[in-house]
Amino acid sequence: MSHDSAHLAALEDDTTADTALDHRIAPALEDLVHARPADAFAWLGPHRQREGERRLRVLVPHAQRVEVIGEDGRRWDLHPGPLPGLFEGAAGEAAVPLLALHFEQGVEQVHDAYAFGPLLDEALLQRFHAGDADAARQLGAVPMQVQGIAGVRFAVWAPNARRVAVVGDFNGWDGRRHPMRLRHAAGVWELFLPGVQAGARYKFRIVGADGQVMPDKFDPMARWAELPPATASRVPSAAPMQWHDEGWRAARRQTGAGAPLSIYEVHAGSWQRGDDGAPLDWDALADRLIPYVAGLGFTHIELLPVSEHPFGGSWGYQPLGIYAPTARHGTPHAFARFVDRCHQAGVGVIVDWVSAHFPNDAHGLAGFDGTALYEHADPREGVHADWDTLIYNYGRNEVAAYLIGSALEWVERFHIDGLRVDAVASMLYRDYSRADGEWIPNEQGGRENLQAVAFLRRMNQTLRERFPDVLVIAEESTAWPGVTAPVEEGGLGFTHKWNMGWMHDTLQYLGRDPVHRQHHHSEISFGLVYAFSERFVLPLSHDEVVHGKGALLAKMTGEPAQRLAQLRAYYGFMWAHPGSKLLFMGGEFGQGHEWSHDAVLDWAQAASSEGQGLSRLVRDLNGVLRAEPALHRDERDERGFDWSVADDNRNSVYAFIRRDPAGSGRTLLVVSNFTPVLREGYRVGVPQPGRWTERLNTDSAHYNGGNAGNLGAVQTEPRPMHGHAQSLRLTLPPLSTLYLQVDA
């Protein structure tokens, strides 16, 4: 194989030595004909001879005849060569010869792909090699016009490959037809194919570093994919996406992080399905899901990963096409319409995004060019045994560019409002879920993955500089400091972090018999010790309702009515607790069985009086959250929270004050009773005298509760308590949360 620069220079100068078939070049042509490594551009396409004549050689296996069509319409045949599929003859005067390829099944008219010079700018390739994400986004299949001829520029990073060819619908998946040009400086292979249409399926056929032909590879940069279980990439449409959300985006830029955040987490394939049992497409989801979520008052939909993934049972958490929305629900343009319609309805969209690992499917990134390219070669660094997946090499410039480019793609191309970054803890620690001897310390001898830390900081900084109003939420389950601190202050730069400790402690508490809760009082209150150390999201996510964990409702104790009452009280406590909110689908109506990706939600339960009551509560909680700055303004500001009752373990009662740190709005008192005992005459001190209206009561009959309470309002009495000059004498319904607000 000859990849040296002399060949390319000669080609680009459009002059070569005599290319008549003889013993000097026959081996190279033999290699081309048999799909072995060879410099295709040195031997194929038009070349000017020493005497000035332009000669053309093409390789078209299975063609019966090849004609050149001149600019004046004149046609002439190329002559069959001594090797199968080779044809040569006069090129004509057109810079890019137009060919008529005659096959048994018909005639294909196409411009010669080997008449084009290199297309990717050398400076861009150098930027990609240095880790530039925008440069990375120029790879893949890009529809364009070159010299007035429409086609697709294919480009793929495979620096250690000995040969790469594009195969697809347009060449009969024949690996001999379209070998690519290697751009040595960046290890990128490129080829412009005239006439390829949007929607065409394609892959890369690679001869690896060891000389072996590998399984055909999916394009890492594919913007569109074939419907699984098929595994081909598809050429994207060049048509621009149509957007009608400028008003939404302008409002987002204006409100920024100060806006309330309440997230409805959705697995698009199992929320609802069509009458035929098939997953809904994006347009049908828009028709059904958007008004449903908007009606419940959530500010955002969070989609479990919608990047293309081969195995549906991974719920999208083992993606291979991180630039392409999954074809399970339609085209990329259809996904864009879904996001656009969400924005027009006043609902933001967050996508779950996976940079922690990727699956080892043969058509994917694993050993992409015959070497550990995207992953680490050493399994102690490159393999997640728990998930049977591979770990990105974050310290490699091109890999970091690939990942950051994907994050930018979702935000820029699809107008996504936020990314939830999966499994951040597994990225931060080299010994994550590994025993001694199964991991390699960093260069400082520690367990931290310094390359992953640098990558996350760089990604978050890039997003912050370009899109300061876009959310970047970390699923991070450890005590890593400064996850949401700015990068310039030594933090990781995320906007939010899932509060896994709060979720674990509170669910554990509510799973205990109420008689024993007095001994575990801190499981509810401990979260306030660190609630202001990060900007948290309180997650009741999909992870808590699968794999034998049971539904949220099933985690509660007691009889069915008590379980519902506890869940209502829990939601009331959660929505008033510092931190943004996240609820997985089905939790809004108290689904009784755990979630399965193979089955839709229990919509019969949603239609029951109990389910409707719980849904009304969730709607009203979101309404209060949106309306009251005390519940959403700068949730890292400790001035917005004061304990009133934190230590009444005997009664399992908690009470606290929420206020807007900026001083707007009215103060809220929140009181939770986590026992099935009606408590009358329970006194709580409050900071202001006057009439306190019962703003919300989770035991209200409106929510299918027992309807105990305070008859709508309570007047303060001049009896000091809890550091205040006045107090309220309250009735606390069993298993309830109350919101009381001082009248203006």
Catalytic residues: 422, 475
The Cα–Cα gap between 374 and 217 comes to 13
Q: Is 646 helix (H, G, I), strand (E, B) or coil?
A: strand
User: How far does Cα 304 stand from its chain's mean position?
Assistant: 8
Q: Is 679 helix (H, G, I), strand (E, B) or coil?
A: strand
The Cα–Cα gap between 323 and 306 comes to 10
324 φ, ψ (degrees, to nearest 5)? -125, 125
DSSP secondary structure letters along 435-448: -TTSS---TTSSSB
User: How far does Cα 223 stand from its chain's mean position?
Assistant: 13
Output the six-digit token pair for 476.
């991070």
**Buried (b) or exposed (e) across 514-539, using 16+ Cβ within 10 A?**
beebeeebebbbebbeebbebbbbbb
CB 89 within 8 A of CB 79: yes
**What is the enclosing helix (H) or strand (E) of 466?**
helix 450-466
CB 369 within 8 A of CB 434: no
CB 163 within 8 A of CB 1: yes
Short-list 732, 726, 688, CA closest to 710: 732
**What is the enclosing helix (H) or strand (E) of 471?**
strand 471-474
Which residues, including other chains, have CB under 8 Å from residue 680's CB and lie 6 or more apart? 731, 732
The Cα–Cα gap between 658 and 638 comes to 10
C-alpha distances (whole Å) from 296 to each of 197, 260, 309, 343 are 43, 14, 30, 16
Residue with tokens 């005659």: 102
User: How far does Cα 695 stand from its chain's mean position?
Assistant: 38
Rg of the chain over Cα atoms, rounded to whole angstroms, equals: 31
Max Cα distance, the chain (Å): 110
Short-list 319, 306, 300, CA closest to 280: 306
Residue 132 burial (CB < 10 Å; 0-12/13-18/19+)?
buried
Residue with tokens 């809890």: 722
CB 414 within 8 A of CB 398: no
Short-list 335, 306, 343, CA closest to 413: 335
**Buried (b) or exposed (e) across 389-408, using 16+ Cβ within 10 A?**
bbbbbbebebbbbbbbbbbb
Q: In what order do the strands lie in the sheet with 383-384?
A: 358-359, 389-390, 383-384
Q: Please report how many Cα atoms fall inside a 13 Å half-sphere around the Cα of residue 335, on the Cβ side.
A: 27
The Cα–Cα gap between 393 and 361 comes to 17
Output the six-digit token pair for 675.
């026992």
**What is the enclosing helix (H) or strand (E) of 411?**
helix 397-414
- Residues found in the chain: 744
